[in-house]
């Protein structure tokens, strides 16, 4: 398993540290801007571009939470089917488990800031939506709204299905359908048969982001499902203050229906559409 990881065309182990460092830097910048009330459309576009370019296309985005999720499951499946190799692969499993845990714990403290501004694939979808649709996500004639219940049942089925497939049959769904791998295009350009499916998926996601707000994040991404379950308990989130005049303008622009009062914000991508439209500057990123 260790050698399989080292030979993966989508993970250069030497790049893991620089990728994780770039994630930490972008995350820290995003959190500081949120706390200082300086995150707005222009600033967010710069950060989204930085995450697409640096951890994304330059570093290849290898150590992302979807990869960590799939590797943990694959290693568990390998240990179940070949118990004599279990001890050998334990250190690799611990590394990916820790990576996945760190991403998950971040959602319990800061909400979905990683998904909002740091994840290269999330940033591609957010940027497409911001630049083409702008703030009229709910009213734009091209936009298709996904019913919340459908999205949640669908993502749970995919999430549970991917766990069952990997643990029982060692079928790694998110190794096969993983648009993150398109970020490795510069290193895999001569390896077209390997990169073709990720690139096709990436293009499908890019185009569908014009019509559906963050389609991969809300319907398919396994870390999206984990973050949806955990970020409702986050300490910091966008909350209304006493300045609110109940105009409901924020609710009309929120692409995920999370701007209402007392929302748990489990599906809030900190897109700042509600903050930007609020006439009384009543939405702040804060503790209760
Ligand atoms: S839900 Fe998945 S793809 Fe979307 S931003 Fe989060 S980690 Fe990235
Ligand atoms: S837009 Fe601002 S003032 Fe209006 S309901 Fe939302 S938080 Fe309150
Ligand atoms: S509540 Fe809605 S509009 Fe406001 S930041 Fe979250 S997702 Fe965007």
> Tokens in use for 271?
């897109």
Q: Work out the mean pLDDT of the chain and round it to a whole number.
A: 91
For the chain, the structural domain boundaries read 2-234
Q: Give me ligand 2 centre to Cα 286, in Å.
A: 16
Q: What is the pLDDT of residues 197-219, one digit of tens each?
A: 999 999 999 999 999 999 999 99
Q: Whose CA is nearest to atom 7 of ligand 3?
A: 268
Q: What is the pLDDT of residues 238-279, one digit of tens each?
A: 999 999 999 999 999 999 999 999 999 999 999 999 999 999
User: What is the distance of C-alpha 272 from the center of its chain?
Assistant: 16
Which numbered ligand comes closest to the C-alpha of 267? 3
Place of tokens 């949640």: 152
pTM given for the model = 0.92
Q: Whose CA is nearest to atom 1 of ligand 2?
A: 278
Place of tokens 């990576």: 99
CB-count exposure of residue 208 (10 Å: 0-12, 13-18, 19+): middle
> Taking CA 93 as the corner, what is the angle to CA 92 and CA 95, rounded to the nearest 5 degrees?
65
Per-residue pLDDT at 139: 67
The response to whether residue 256 sits with its C-beta less than 6 Å from ligand 3 reads yes
Confidence of residue 173 (pLDDT cuts 50, 70, 90): very high
Sort residue 83 into left (φ over 0), alpha (ψ -120 to 50) or beta.
alpha
What percent of the chain stands above pLDDT 70?
95
Which numbered ligand comes closest to the C-alpha of 216? 1
Reduced to 3 states, what is the DSSP secondary structure of residue 262?
coil
């Amino acid at each position: 398993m260790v050698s399989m990881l080292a030979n993966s065309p989508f993970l250069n182990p030497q790049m893991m540290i620089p990728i994780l460092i770039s994630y930490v830097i972008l995350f820290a910048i995003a959190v500081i801007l949120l706390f200082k009330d300086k995150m707005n459309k222009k600033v967010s576009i710069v950060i989204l571009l930085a995450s697409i370019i640096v951890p994304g296309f330059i570093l290849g985005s290898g150590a992302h939470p979807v990869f960590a999720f799939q590797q943990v499951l694959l290693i568990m499946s390998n240990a179940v089917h070949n118990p004599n190799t279990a001890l050998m692969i334990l250190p690799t499993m611990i590394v990916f488990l820790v990576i996945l845990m760190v991403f998950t714990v971040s959602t319990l403290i800061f909400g979905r800031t990683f998904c909002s501004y740091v994840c290269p694939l999330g940033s591609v979808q957010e940027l497409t939506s911001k630049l083409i649709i702008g703030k009229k996500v709910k009213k734009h004639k091209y936009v298709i709204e996904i019913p919340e219940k459908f999205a949640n049942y669908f993502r749970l089925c995919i999430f549970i299905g991917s766990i069952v497939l990997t643990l029982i049959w060692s079928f790694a769904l998110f190794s096969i359908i993983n648009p993150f791998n398109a970020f490795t295009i510069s290193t895999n350009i001569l390896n077209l048969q390997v990169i073709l499916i990720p690139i096709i998926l990436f293009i499908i996601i890019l185009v569908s982001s014009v019509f559906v707000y963050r389609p991969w994040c809300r319907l398919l991404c396994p870390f999206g499902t984990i973050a949806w379950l955990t970020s409702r308990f986050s300490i910091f989130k966008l909350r209304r203050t006493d300045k609110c005049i109940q105009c409901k303008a924020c609710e009309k622009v929120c692409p995920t229906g999370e701007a209402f009062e007392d929302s748990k914000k489990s599906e809030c991508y900190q897109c700042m559409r509600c903050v930007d439209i609020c006439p009384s500057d009543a939405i702040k990123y804060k503790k209760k």
